[in-house]
A and B are shown apart, each in its own frame.
Chain A
Amino acid sequence: MVVAGTIKANIGLVTLVVASFFTLQAQAQKPALQLIQDPASPNYGSVRVAGVDLYSIQRIQSMQFDFDDWKAIFPVMLQAANTQSDMPAILGSYSTDESSLIFTPRFRFVPGLTYEAQFNFPLLYSMLAEKPPYPSKDILSLSFTIDDLTSHPPTRVTQIYPTSSELPMNQLKLYLHFSGNMQKGQAYDNIQLFHSTGEAVEAPFLEIPQELWNSNGNRLTVLFDPGRIKRDLAPNLQMGLPLQEGRSYRLVIDKSWKDQFGNSLQREFVKEFKVVAVDRESPNPEKWKKVLPKAGTRDPIQLHFGEALDHALLQRMIWVLTEKNEQVEGSISITNVEKTWQFTPVEPWAEAEFNIAIDSRLEDLAGNSISRLFDTDLSKDTVSEERTIYIPISLITTSSID
């Protein structure tokens, strides 16, 4: 990210930055200006100076700057107006979060108009009477043109994981995949779970206000309420598990959920499933069936688990190492209703020894990892340490099945 110099990027559409507490914590770095678009909000979005250190934020909060102070430090202007020195900065409100300064315009940014935000780094620290965290005399600036939103096709749900039509009674997570970025704050109004009779299931999910989005903003993790799943916790005792064995359910993603451009989803998405017995067993790599490719080919390594595992974790918790402990480049695909992991290398397999590495935090659908059960009595059960498990394999020119 450019910081020391002036950022002057004329951007049509800035990728939505997910301002969840997860990503922000990772951004303790030099400040940068960003446009955060939320077209369905009354003011279209906000402009941020992201990456401000916590001490500076606290000092800024203690100063209680008024609008005149703020607009000197962090003005946002019409770019056409900016050519004349006496044109005013745009009316709006300024606020802070743990790592950003935030400008929200009083009135909506207008499609087709170009705006310019500036952040006067030296002035801020002179007003704070503080030494800047790093030396800079620069005024950052960002110009942005607001897009005509009507030109964007509506977003749709591309898949819900697990894809299986049978879920264990103690199913822990659902992953909702979208074709684009969705607006935040609407998830729990638009995800509904019904019995096959049509009756709504009461409070099945853990409602997290921040919502659990991936960093690309196109995958939402929804948790069945863990308090109802873990035995003997109060919600479990009062309400029981959200899902009942033997019953059928309809998960409905409502069409009215808005995407980042303010469009409703293309269509409603329905997933029907039947609930089977609870799963209280950890995945056991020793029981997995391996299908190994012949050396010299680019055929995949396949692992057949005999049960569905967590789709998101499978993307990153199994990998292949060479004898020299280097990760083999390739692509992962998850097939067979998440019961099969396969890895296709970029280069043909060498005739050599490899290790399949497995993070023991890999979970099944009920959140049981290789190293521990999701719902376990710590006073009785033994819990193995989190570790990487290695399965040595030897690839030869003749295909073999283990």
Chain B
Amino acid sequence: MRKLVFTMAVVFAAATLWASESELTGNFIKAKANIASFSTITFGPEGILFVGDSKSAKVFALDVDDKSPNNAKEAFNLADAEAKIAAFLGTTADNVIIHDVAANPISQNIYLAVSRANAKEVGFWKLPNDVAYANILLKIDWEKNISEVSLENISHSSAVLPNPKAEGEKNWRGSDNRTETITDMAYHKGKLYVAGISNEEFASTLRVMPFPFKGDVSASTIEIWHAAHGKYETQSPIRTLLPFEINNQDQLLAAYTCTPLVSIPVAQLQNGKHVKSKTLAELGAGNIPLDIISYRSEGKERILIANASRSLMRIEPADLEKQKEGLTIDVDDRNTAGVPYVPLSGVGILQIDNLTSMKTMSWYYNVCQMDHSI
């Protein structure tokens, strides 16, 4: 079985100005949240957990009621983590898939999107969401307790994604196109950025949803220069994205399968617009990028990318700023181009997220390790 490793490193925005609770959760209802799949999860402000649900083509905002600050806790290792999750679900580790992991920046509790499916099917070109829909949300707290986050009576709101792909069409990797309706999400300055595909001619779509959800969704189709393929592409979805300021401009850093890294100017994301991104780097073919985060090490902010078939990559923001023109060259399959990266140890890390500015968390196969330094 493939080694499954997660690293979570958190950069905590120094001073986040939280809106008052009534502003953000004022339109939440306390009821059952009818989530069909936990395709991707990420935390927003005030301990609100966003859930991207590809199956029902919706985004949910959950108040998981987990707002007790927990910064003082000792670091810990949770050995045999997947076997414990599996035992909690009444089965063995080879029958459990962890689809996504998110750390609550307030409580630092770890949230996991999980399915009870055949983990042996996850592998090269097969991500967890290609194998099954995650159908349960779990939490691991700092006492190492595993529990289910119940959706039966939870304060939440939701928003519908227009124009999702119909279920039943297969993509080149043999998985249902519908599973890529939402591939990643990021919250930034009052908006939720939702990457994925739609049923439009240019499938790759970035949807922007002002939060709290009020029903307005803007959708832009995204074009990239895919240097490893030597062509412009509009079909493949963003795999992972990170709001990041480059040259004092709000950008979304987005990484794609096989592995372009591009920047998308936030200002250009307007409803119905086709946006041409700037290809900053070709990080190498034969790989799916899994997560991108910014974190703080050696006194400065850095970018970290986890990959399915390559090592952890560390990128210096200064190098992003130096890449004045986007790549338009055809790069040989084996090579990389554009913004350089430093390969870090941590092959097989599948997910990374942020915990706090000072603390990081790694999830190696079967070990959940808090306070891990990258």
Identify the A interface with B (CB < 8 A).
67, 76-78, 80-81, 84, 86-92, 105-110, 113, 115
Check A107 against B90 for contact (C-beta < 8 Å): yes
A211 → B minimal CB distance (Å): 29
Q: How many angstroms between the C-alpha atoms of A72 and B87 in the bound complex?
A: 16
Say which residue of A76, A105, A106, A110 sits within 8 Å of B95 (CB atoms). A110
Residues on the B chain within 8 Å of A67, using CB: 147
Q: How many angstroms between the C-alpha atoms of A80 and B80 in the bound complex?
A: 13
Check B87 against A90 for contact (C-beta < 8 Å): yes
B146 at the interface (CB under 8 A from A): yes
Check B87 against A109 for contact (C-beta < 8 Å): no
Q: How many angstroms between the C-alpha atoms of A110 and B93 in the bound complex?
A: 12
Check A106 against B87 for contact (C-beta < 8 Å): no
Say which residue of A84, A86, A105 sits within 8 Å of B90 (CB atoms). A105
Q: List 10 A-B contacts (CB under 8 A).
A: A80-B92, A81-B87, A88-B84, A88-B88, A88-B145, A90-B87, A90-B90, A92-B90, A107-B91, A107-B116
B329 at the interface (CB under 8 A from A): no
A20 → B minimal CB distance (Å): 27
Check B90 against A91 for contact (C-beta < 8 Å): yes
Q: How many angstroms between the C-alpha atoms of A81 and B144 in the bound complex?
A: 16
* Known contacts A109-B90, A115-B90; A88 and B146 CB within 8 A of each other: yes
B148 at the interface (CB under 8 A from A): yes
A76 → B minimal CB distance (Å): 8
Q: Is the interface of B mostly helix, strand, loop or mixed?
A: mixed
Residues on the B chain within 8 Å of A84, using CB: 80
A60 → B minimal CB distance (Å): 21
B203 at the interface (CB under 8 A from A): no
Check B91 against A113 for contact (C-beta < 8 Å): yes
Say which residue of B87, B116, B145, B147 sits within 8 Å of A87 (CB atoms). B87
B327 at the interface (CB under 8 A from A): no
Per the CB 8 Å criterion, the residue count for chain B at the interface is 18
Q: Tell me the nearest residue of chain A to B138, going by C-beta.
A: A91
Residue interface bits B56-98, CB-to-A below 8 A is 1, else 0: 0000000000000000000000001001101111111001000
Say which residue of B80, B83, B89, B92 sits within 8 Å of A91 (CB atoms). B89
Q: Is the interface of A mostly helix, strand, loop or mixed?
A: loop
Check B89 against A107 for contact (C-beta < 8 Å): yes
* Known contacts A90-B88, A90-B89, A113-B92; A106 and B136 CB within 8 A of each other: yes
Residues on the B chain within 8 Å of A105, using CB: 90
Residues on the A chain within 8 Å of B87, using CB: 77-78, 81, 87-88, 90
Other contacts beyond A78-B87, A87-B84, A110-B90: 18, CB < 8 A: A78-B86, A78-B91, A81-B84, A84-B80, A86-B84, A86-B144, A87-B87, A88-B84, A88-B88, A88-B145, A89-B88, A90-B88, A90-B90, A107-B90, A108-B90, A109-B90, A110-B91, A115-B90
Q: Tell me the nearest residue of chain B to A76, going by C-beta.
A: B90
Residues on the A chain within 8 Å of B147, using CB: 67
Identify the B interface with A (CB < 8 A).
80, 83-84, 86-92, 95, 116, 136, 144-148
Q: How many angstroms between the C-alpha atoms of A88 and B139 in the bound complex?
A: 13
Check A91 against B144 for contact (C-beta < 8 Å): no
Q: How many angstroms between the C-alpha atoms of A108 and B89 in the bound complex?
A: 9
Check A91 against B91 for contact (C-beta < 8 Å): no
Of the candidates B87, B91, B146, B148, the one having the most CB atoms from chain A within 10 angstroms of its own CB is B87
Closest 5 CB pairs of A and B: A81-B87, A90-B90, A88-B88, A78-B87, A87-B87
Of the candidates A88, A106, A108, A109, the one having the most CB atoms from chain B within 10 angstroms of its own CB is A88
* Known contacts A106-B136, A106-B148, A107-B116; A78 and B84 CB within 8 A of each other: no
B72 → A minimal CB distance (Å): 23
B279 → A minimal CB distance (Å): 43
Residues on the A chain within 8 Å of B89, using CB: 90-91, 106-107
Q: How many angstroms between the C-alpha atoms of A387 and B95 in the bound complex?
A: 62
* Known contacts A86-B144, A106-B148; A81 and B136 CB within 8 A of each other: no
Residues on the A chain within 8 Å of B84, using CB: 81, 86-88
Q: Tell me the nearest residue of chain B to A109, going by C-beta.
A: B90
Q: How many angstroms between the C-alpha atoms of A67 and B147 in the bound complex?
A: 9
Q: How many angstroms between the C-alpha atoms of A152 and B24 in the bound complex?
A: 56
Residues on the A chain within 8 Å of B148, using CB: 91, 106
Residues on the B chain within 8 Å of A86, using CB: 84, 144
Q: Tell me the nearest residue of chain A to B88, going by C-beta.
A: A88
Residues on the B chain within 8 Å of A91, using CB: 88-90, 148
Q: Tell me the nearest residue of chain A to B148, going by C-beta.
A: A91
A87 → B minimal CB distance (Å): 5
Check A78 against B92 for contact (C-beta < 8 Å): yes
